[in-house]
Amino acid sequence: MNPQIQETAIQAPTDRECVDYYRSLVLTRVFDRQMVLLQRQGKIGFTIQCEGEEACHVGIAANVNKEKDWIFPSYRQQGIALALGVPVVELAHQMFNNVKDIGSKGRQMPVHFSFINPVRWVSISSPLGTQIPQAAGCARAMQLKNENGVVFCCFGDGSTSTNGFHSGLALAGVWRAPVVFLCDNNQWAISVPTHKQTASTSFAIKGKAYGVRGAIVDGNNLIEVRRVVGEAAARARAGGGPTLIELVTYRIGGHSSSDDPRRYRDDDEVKAAVARDPILLFEKYLNERGLLNEILKTEIWTAAQDGVRAAVDEAAALPQPQVPTIFEDVYEKPTPRLARQREELLHTLARHGANTEAAGAFPL
Protein backbone atom coordinates (compact mmCIF):
# COMPACT_ATOMS: atom_id res chain seq x y z
CA MET A 1 0.00 0.00 0.00
CA ASN A 2 1.25 3.49 -0.86
CA PRO A 3 1.70 5.32 2.48
CA GLN A 4 0.73 8.58 0.78
CA ILE A 5 -2.76 7.30 0.04
CA GLN A 6 -5.09 8.30 2.84
CA GLU A 7 -7.96 5.99 3.73
CA THR A 8 -11.36 7.57 3.11
CA ALA A 9 -14.02 7.29 5.79
CA ILE A 10 -17.35 6.33 4.23
CA GLN A 11 -20.20 8.31 5.72
CA ALA A 12 -23.31 6.52 6.94
CA PRO A 13 -26.19 6.67 4.46
CA THR A 14 -28.90 9.27 4.86
CA ASP A 15 -32.48 8.32 5.65
CA ARG A 16 -33.51 8.95 2.06
CA GLU A 17 -30.66 6.82 0.72
CA CYS A 18 -31.67 3.96 3.00
CA VAL A 19 -35.25 3.98 1.74
CA ASP A 20 -33.99 4.14 -1.85
CA TYR A 21 -31.75 1.14 -1.17
CA TYR A 22 -34.77 -0.76 0.07
CA ARG A 23 -36.72 0.14 -3.07
CA SER A 24 -33.87 -1.26 -5.17
CA LEU A 25 -33.70 -4.48 -3.15
CA VAL A 26 -37.43 -5.05 -3.54
CA LEU A 27 -37.49 -4.14 -7.23
CA THR A 28 -34.69 -6.61 -7.96
CA ARG A 29 -36.47 -9.40 -6.07
CA VAL A 30 -39.78 -8.75 -7.82
CA PHE A 31 -38.14 -8.55 -11.25
CA ASP A 32 -36.27 -11.81 -10.70
CA ARG A 33 -39.33 -13.72 -9.58
CA GLN A 34 -41.37 -12.41 -12.51
CA MET A 35 -38.68 -13.55 -14.96
CA VAL A 36 -38.80 -17.06 -13.51
CA LEU A 37 -42.58 -17.16 -13.99
CA LEU A 38 -42.22 -15.99 -17.60
CA GLN A 39 -39.59 -18.63 -18.30
CA ARG A 40 -41.76 -21.35 -16.82
CA GLN A 41 -44.63 -20.14 -19.01
CA GLY A 42 -42.44 -20.36 -22.10
CA LYS A 43 -42.57 -16.62 -22.76
CA ILE A 44 -38.82 -16.12 -22.42
CA GLY A 45 -36.13 -18.71 -23.00
CA PHE A 46 -33.88 -18.33 -20.00
CA THR A 47 -33.20 -16.43 -16.81
CA ILE A 48 -30.65 -16.28 -14.01
CA GLN A 49 -31.80 -15.13 -10.59
CA CYS A 50 -29.84 -13.22 -7.99
CA GLU A 51 -32.25 -13.91 -5.12
CA GLY A 52 -30.33 -13.76 -1.87
CA GLU A 53 -27.55 -11.62 -3.35
CA GLU A 54 -29.36 -8.30 -3.78
CA ALA A 55 -27.53 -6.53 -0.94
CA CYS A 56 -24.24 -7.08 -2.76
CA HIS A 57 -25.61 -5.32 -5.82
CA VAL A 58 -27.23 -2.36 -4.11
CA GLY A 59 -24.19 -1.84 -1.89
CA ILE A 60 -21.91 -1.82 -4.92
CA ALA A 61 -24.19 0.51 -6.90
CA ALA A 62 -24.14 3.02 -4.04
CA ASN A 63 -20.49 3.76 -4.88
CA VAL A 64 -20.68 4.01 -8.68
CA ASN A 65 -20.24 7.37 -10.37
CA LYS A 66 -22.42 6.96 -13.47
CA GLU A 67 -20.55 9.65 -15.40
CA LYS A 68 -17.01 8.43 -14.69
CA ASP A 69 -17.04 4.73 -13.85
CA TRP A 70 -17.35 1.53 -15.86
CA ILE A 71 -19.07 -1.72 -14.88
CA PHE A 72 -17.89 -5.09 -16.18
CA PRO A 73 -20.56 -7.43 -14.79
CA SER A 74 -21.27 -11.12 -14.73
CA TYR A 75 -24.70 -12.53 -15.56
CA ARG A 76 -26.16 -12.27 -12.03
CA GLN A 77 -25.86 -8.54 -11.35
CA GLN A 78 -29.14 -7.12 -12.60
CA GLY A 79 -29.67 -5.52 -9.19
CA ILE A 80 -26.76 -3.15 -9.86
CA ALA A 81 -28.40 -1.92 -13.05
CA LEU A 82 -31.76 -1.39 -11.35
CA ALA A 83 -30.16 0.40 -8.39
CA LEU A 84 -28.35 2.73 -10.79
CA GLY A 85 -31.58 3.77 -12.45
CA VAL A 86 -31.74 1.59 -15.55
CA PRO A 87 -35.49 1.43 -16.28
CA VAL A 88 -37.10 -1.95 -15.68
CA VAL A 89 -38.51 -1.89 -19.19
CA GLU A 90 -34.97 -1.78 -20.66
CA LEU A 91 -34.16 -5.03 -18.88
CA ALA A 92 -37.49 -6.47 -19.99
CA HIS A 93 -36.80 -5.63 -23.64
CA GLN A 94 -33.52 -7.52 -23.44
CA MET A 95 -35.14 -10.48 -21.69
CA PHE A 96 -37.64 -10.74 -24.56
CA ASN A 97 -34.97 -9.94 -27.20
CA ASN A 98 -37.43 -7.66 -28.96
CA VAL A 99 -37.00 -4.74 -31.37
CA LYS A 100 -36.24 -2.36 -28.49
CA ASP A 101 -33.41 -4.50 -27.17
CA ILE A 102 -30.79 -1.75 -27.38
CA GLY A 103 -28.12 -3.89 -25.76
CA SER A 104 -27.72 -6.52 -28.46
CA LYS A 105 -30.72 -6.16 -30.80
CA GLY A 106 -31.91 -9.67 -30.02
CA ARG A 107 -28.56 -11.36 -30.63
CA GLN A 108 -27.65 -12.11 -27.01
CA MET A 109 -29.08 -14.51 -24.47
CA PRO A 110 -31.50 -13.08 -21.91
CA VAL A 111 -29.79 -11.64 -18.76
CA HIS A 112 -26.67 -10.88 -20.81
CA PHE A 113 -27.45 -7.21 -20.49
CA SER A 114 -25.70 -4.26 -22.08
CA PHE A 115 -26.59 -0.61 -21.55
CA ILE A 116 -25.58 2.73 -22.99
CA ASN A 117 -27.40 4.99 -20.54
CA PRO A 118 -27.58 5.83 -17.70
CA VAL A 119 -24.54 3.67 -16.88
CA ARG A 120 -21.37 2.51 -18.64
CA TRP A 121 -22.27 -1.18 -18.57
CA VAL A 122 -20.22 -3.52 -20.77
CA SER A 123 -22.02 -6.45 -22.40
CA ILE A 124 -22.09 -9.63 -20.35
CA SER A 125 -20.47 -12.74 -21.81
CA SER A 126 -21.31 -16.39 -21.22
CA PRO A 127 -17.69 -17.57 -20.86
CA LEU A 128 -16.52 -17.12 -17.28
CA GLY A 129 -13.79 -14.67 -16.38
CA THR A 130 -13.45 -12.93 -19.74
CA GLN A 131 -14.47 -9.60 -18.23
CA ILE A 132 -11.67 -9.61 -15.63
CA PRO A 133 -8.67 -8.84 -17.89
CA GLN A 134 -10.94 -6.56 -19.92
CA ALA A 135 -11.72 -4.59 -16.78
CA ALA A 136 -8.02 -4.32 -15.95
CA GLY A 137 -7.37 -3.01 -19.46
CA CYS A 138 -10.15 -0.46 -19.21
CA ALA A 139 -8.78 0.74 -15.87
CA ARG A 140 -5.30 1.03 -17.39
CA ALA A 141 -6.70 3.10 -20.26
CA MET A 142 -8.31 5.50 -17.77
CA GLN A 143 -4.96 5.79 -16.01
CA LEU A 144 -3.19 6.71 -19.24
CA LYS A 145 -5.88 9.25 -20.08
CA ASN A 146 -5.76 10.75 -16.57
CA GLU A 147 -9.45 10.04 -16.02
CA ASN A 148 -10.66 9.96 -12.44
CA GLY A 149 -12.82 6.87 -12.86
CA VAL A 150 -13.03 3.41 -11.35
CA VAL A 151 -13.85 0.08 -12.98
CA PHE A 152 -16.12 -2.24 -11.03
CA CYS A 153 -15.62 -5.85 -12.15
CA CYS A 154 -18.06 -8.49 -10.89
CA PHE A 155 -17.71 -12.26 -11.06
CA GLY A 156 -18.60 -15.38 -9.14
CA ASP A 157 -16.44 -17.69 -7.06
CA GLY A 158 -16.29 -20.17 -9.95
CA SER A 159 -14.60 -17.56 -12.13
CA THR A 160 -11.57 -17.52 -9.83
CA SER A 161 -10.60 -20.83 -11.44
CA THR A 162 -10.29 -19.26 -14.90
CA ASN A 163 -7.21 -17.96 -16.66
CA GLY A 164 -8.90 -14.57 -16.96
CA PHE A 165 -8.98 -14.14 -13.20
CA HIS A 166 -5.25 -14.68 -12.76
CA SER A 167 -4.14 -12.66 -15.79
CA GLY A 168 -6.54 -9.83 -14.92
CA LEU A 169 -5.31 -9.53 -11.35
CA ALA A 170 -1.67 -9.78 -12.44
CA LEU A 171 -2.09 -6.91 -14.91
CA ALA A 172 -4.06 -4.75 -12.48
CA GLY A 173 -1.51 -5.34 -9.73
CA VAL A 174 1.46 -4.40 -11.92
CA TRP A 175 -0.28 -1.29 -13.24
CA ARG A 176 -1.86 -0.35 -9.88
CA ALA A 177 -4.95 0.13 -12.00
CA PRO A 178 -8.10 1.76 -10.56
CA VAL A 179 -10.26 -1.35 -10.54
CA VAL A 180 -12.34 -2.96 -7.81
CA PHE A 181 -12.67 -6.71 -8.32
CA LEU A 182 -15.88 -8.02 -6.75
CA CYS A 183 -16.04 -11.77 -6.17
CA ASP A 184 -19.60 -12.78 -5.39
CA ASN A 185 -19.02 -15.89 -3.27
CA ASN A 186 -22.49 -17.44 -3.22
CA GLN A 187 -21.07 -20.82 -2.12
CA TRP A 188 -21.82 -22.66 -5.37
CA ALA A 189 -20.24 -22.62 -8.84
CA ILE A 190 -23.26 -24.26 -10.44
CA SER A 191 -23.07 -27.62 -8.58
CA VAL A 192 -19.50 -27.26 -7.26
CA PRO A 193 -19.32 -26.14 -3.60
CA THR A 194 -16.69 -23.71 -2.36
CA HIS A 195 -14.60 -26.36 -0.60
CA LYS A 196 -14.12 -28.13 -3.94
CA GLN A 197 -13.41 -24.87 -5.76
CA THR A 198 -10.32 -23.87 -3.81
CA ALA A 199 -8.01 -24.92 -0.97
CA SER A 200 -7.27 -21.29 -0.10
CA THR A 201 -8.55 -19.88 3.18
CA SER A 202 -10.58 -17.38 1.18
CA PHE A 203 -10.96 -15.99 -2.32
CA ALA A 204 -9.86 -12.53 -1.19
CA ILE A 205 -6.42 -13.85 -0.20
CA LYS A 206 -5.74 -14.80 -3.82
CA GLY A 207 -5.03 -11.15 -4.62
CA LYS A 208 -1.92 -11.19 -2.41
CA ALA A 209 0.12 -13.09 -4.99
CA TYR A 210 -0.47 -10.26 -7.47
CA GLY A 211 0.05 -7.31 -5.14
CA VAL A 212 -3.70 -6.70 -4.98
CA ARG A 213 -5.22 -5.76 -1.67
CA GLY A 214 -7.91 -8.15 -0.40
CA ALA A 215 -11.01 -7.72 1.75
CA ILE A 216 -13.90 -9.92 2.88
CA VAL A 217 -17.37 -8.62 3.65
CA ASP A 218 -20.73 -10.08 4.65
CA GLY A 219 -22.54 -9.83 1.34
CA ASN A 220 -25.95 -9.91 3.02
CA ASN A 221 -25.18 -6.76 5.02
CA LEU A 222 -25.90 -3.92 2.62
CA ILE A 223 -24.40 -1.22 4.84
CA GLU A 224 -21.13 -3.14 5.21
CA VAL A 225 -20.95 -3.85 1.48
CA ARG A 226 -21.49 -0.16 0.80
CA ARG A 227 -18.70 0.76 3.23
CA VAL A 228 -16.07 -1.76 2.11
CA VAL A 229 -16.68 -1.18 -1.61
CA GLY A 230 -16.71 2.57 -0.99
CA GLU A 231 -13.33 2.46 0.70
CA ALA A 232 -11.85 0.42 -2.16
CA ALA A 233 -13.31 2.75 -4.79
CA ALA A 234 -12.01 5.85 -3.00
CA ARG A 235 -8.58 4.29 -2.71
CA ALA A 236 -8.57 3.44 -6.43
CA ARG A 237 -9.58 6.99 -7.39
CA ALA A 238 -6.74 8.35 -5.29
CA GLY A 239 -4.15 6.17 -7.04
CA GLY A 240 -4.01 3.45 -4.41
CA GLY A 241 -4.45 0.59 -6.86
CA PRO A 242 -6.86 -2.33 -7.14
CA THR A 243 -8.72 -4.28 -4.47
CA LEU A 244 -10.18 -7.77 -4.56
CA ILE A 245 -13.32 -7.94 -2.42
CA GLU A 246 -14.98 -11.24 -1.54
CA LEU A 247 -18.68 -10.77 -0.84
CA VAL A 248 -19.84 -13.77 1.16
CA THR A 249 -23.47 -14.50 0.37
CA TYR A 250 -25.69 -17.36 -0.80
CA ARG A 251 -27.46 -18.27 -4.02
CA ILE A 252 -30.98 -19.11 -2.85
CA GLY A 253 -32.22 -20.27 -6.26
CA GLY A 254 -30.63 -22.49 -8.84
CA HIS A 255 -27.71 -21.49 -11.01
CA SER A 256 -30.22 -20.70 -13.75
CA SER A 257 -33.77 -21.53 -14.80
CA SER A 258 -32.38 -24.74 -16.30
CA ASP A 259 -30.81 -25.91 -13.03
CA ASP A 260 -32.37 -28.04 -10.27
CA PRO A 261 -30.28 -27.34 -7.14
CA ARG A 262 -32.20 -29.96 -5.15
CA ARG A 263 -30.02 -32.56 -6.86
CA TYR A 264 -26.87 -31.35 -5.13
CA ARG A 265 -27.85 -29.13 -2.17
CA ASP A 266 -29.21 -29.94 1.25
CA ASP A 267 -32.56 -28.36 2.13
CA ASP A 268 -31.35 -27.39 5.62
CA GLU A 269 -28.51 -25.41 4.07
CA VAL A 270 -30.95 -23.42 1.96
CA LYS A 271 -33.29 -22.83 4.93
CA ALA A 272 -30.39 -21.42 6.93
CA ALA A 273 -29.57 -19.06 4.06
CA VAL A 274 -33.19 -17.95 3.71
CA ALA A 275 -33.17 -17.02 7.40
CA ARG A 276 -30.46 -14.48 6.51
CA ASP A 277 -32.35 -13.07 3.53
CA PRO A 278 -30.71 -9.68 2.85
CA ILE A 279 -34.07 -8.00 2.42
CA LEU A 280 -35.22 -9.18 5.86
CA LEU A 281 -31.91 -8.08 7.38
CA PHE A 282 -32.22 -4.63 5.81
CA GLU A 283 -35.82 -4.31 6.96
CA LYS A 284 -34.57 -4.90 10.50
CA TYR A 285 -31.94 -2.19 10.00
CA LEU A 286 -34.58 0.23 8.69
CA ASN A 287 -36.88 -0.55 11.59
CA GLU A 288 -34.08 0.16 14.06
CA ARG A 289 -33.63 3.57 12.42
CA GLY A 290 -37.37 4.19 12.44
CA LEU A 291 -37.53 4.41 8.65
CA LEU A 292 -39.95 1.62 7.75
CA ASN A 293 -43.54 0.90 8.63
CA GLU A 294 -46.15 -1.42 7.15
CA ILE A 295 -47.74 1.34 5.06
CA LEU A 296 -44.45 2.29 3.39
CA LYS A 297 -43.45 -1.35 3.01
CA THR A 298 -46.70 -2.18 1.22
CA GLU A 299 -46.36 0.91 -0.96
CA ILE A 300 -42.83 -0.07 -2.06
CA TRP A 301 -43.69 -3.71 -2.83
CA THR A 302 -46.86 -2.71 -4.69
CA ALA A 303 -45.02 -0.10 -6.76
CA ALA A 304 -42.35 -2.65 -7.68
CA GLN A 305 -44.92 -5.26 -8.69
CA ASP A 306 -46.94 -2.78 -10.74
CA GLY A 307 -43.81 -1.42 -12.41
CA VAL A 308 -42.50 -4.84 -13.37
CA ARG A 309 -45.89 -5.96 -14.71
CA ALA A 310 -46.18 -2.82 -16.84
CA ALA A 311 -42.65 -3.30 -18.19
CA VAL A 312 -43.33 -6.94 -19.04
CA ASP A 313 -46.60 -6.08 -20.78
CA GLU A 314 -44.82 -3.46 -22.90
CA ALA A 315 -41.90 -5.71 -23.80
CA ALA A 316 -44.04 -8.77 -24.53
CA ALA A 317 -46.18 -6.84 -27.01
CA LEU A 318 -43.24 -6.01 -29.29
CA PRO A 319 -41.94 -8.23 -32.12
CA GLN A 320 -38.45 -9.63 -32.43
CA PRO A 321 -35.94 -7.84 -34.69
CA GLN A 322 -36.17 -8.64 -38.38
CA VAL A 323 -33.76 -11.32 -39.60
CA PRO A 324 -31.71 -9.00 -41.91
CA THR A 325 -30.60 -6.98 -38.86
CA ILE A 326 -27.97 -9.67 -38.23
CA PHE A 327 -25.87 -7.88 -40.86
CA GLU A 328 -25.97 -4.57 -39.01
CA ASP A 329 -23.24 -3.34 -36.63
CA VAL A 330 -20.66 -5.69 -38.16
CA TYR A 331 -18.76 -3.11 -40.19
CA GLU A 332 -19.22 0.65 -40.44
CA LYS A 333 -19.42 0.12 -44.21
CA PRO A 334 -20.56 -3.39 -45.25
CA THR A 335 -18.03 -5.36 -47.27
CA PRO A 336 -19.04 -6.59 -50.75
CA ARG A 337 -19.23 -10.18 -49.44
CA LEU A 338 -21.48 -9.13 -46.55
CA ALA A 339 -23.70 -7.19 -48.91
CA ARG A 340 -24.03 -10.24 -51.19
CA GLN A 341 -24.90 -12.47 -48.23
CA ARG A 342 -27.59 -10.02 -47.16
CA GLU A 343 -29.10 -9.95 -50.63
CA GLU A 344 -29.07 -13.76 -50.80
CA LEU A 345 -30.84 -13.95 -47.45
CA LEU A 346 -33.47 -11.41 -48.51
CA HIS A 347 -34.05 -13.40 -51.71
CA THR A 348 -34.47 -16.62 -49.71
CA LEU A 349 -36.86 -14.99 -47.24
CA ALA A 350 -38.92 -13.58 -50.11
CA ARG A 351 -39.26 -17.06 -51.64
CA HIS A 352 -39.67 -19.22 -48.54
CA GLY A 353 -40.42 -16.94 -45.61
CA ALA A 354 -38.74 -17.01 -42.21
CA ASN A 355 -38.86 -20.06 -39.96
CA THR A 356 -39.85 -18.65 -36.57
CA GLU A 357 -40.51 -21.97 -34.87
CA ALA A 358 -37.97 -22.75 -32.13
CA ALA A 359 -36.65 -26.30 -32.28
CA GLY A 360 -35.17 -28.19 -29.37
CA ALA A 361 -34.65 -27.33 -25.71
CA PHE A 362 -32.82 -24.20 -24.58
CA PRO A 363 -29.11 -25.11 -24.39
CA LEU A 364 -28.46 -24.09 -20.77
Rounded alpha-carbon distances, angstroms, from residue 337 to 205, 327, 334: 51, 11, 8
Q: Report strand pairing: 192-193 vs 213-218.
A: unpaired
What single-letter amino acid sits at 260?
D
Whole-number average pLDDT of the chain: 94
Phi-psi region at 54: left, alpha or beta (left = phi > 0; alpha = psi -120 to 50) = alpha
> 179: domain CATH number?
3.40.50.970
Residues β-bridged to residue 245: 182, 215
Residue 82 lies inside a defined structural domain of this protein: yes
Give the total number of structural domains in the chain.
Answer: 2
What single-letter amino acid sits at 18?
C
Cβ proximity of 51 and 33 under 8 Å: yes
Contacts of 248 (CB under 8 A, 6+ apart): 185, 216, 217, 218, 219
Give tens-digit pLDDT for 21-79. 999 999 999 999 999 999 999 999 999 999 999 999 999 999 999 999 999 999 999 99
pLDDT over 60 at 88, yes or no? yes
Cis amide linkage into residue 334, ω under 30° from 0: no
In this structure, the answer to whether residues 248 and 348 fall within a common structural domain is no
pLDDT over 50 at 158, yes or no? yes
pTM of this prediction exceeds 0.75? yes
Pick from 84, 83, 105, 78: which is nearest to 93 by CA? 105
In this structure, the answer to whether residues 89 and 42 fall within a common structural domain is yes
Cβ proximity of 185 and 246 under 8 Å: yes
**Structural domain boundaries, residue 230:** 15-316
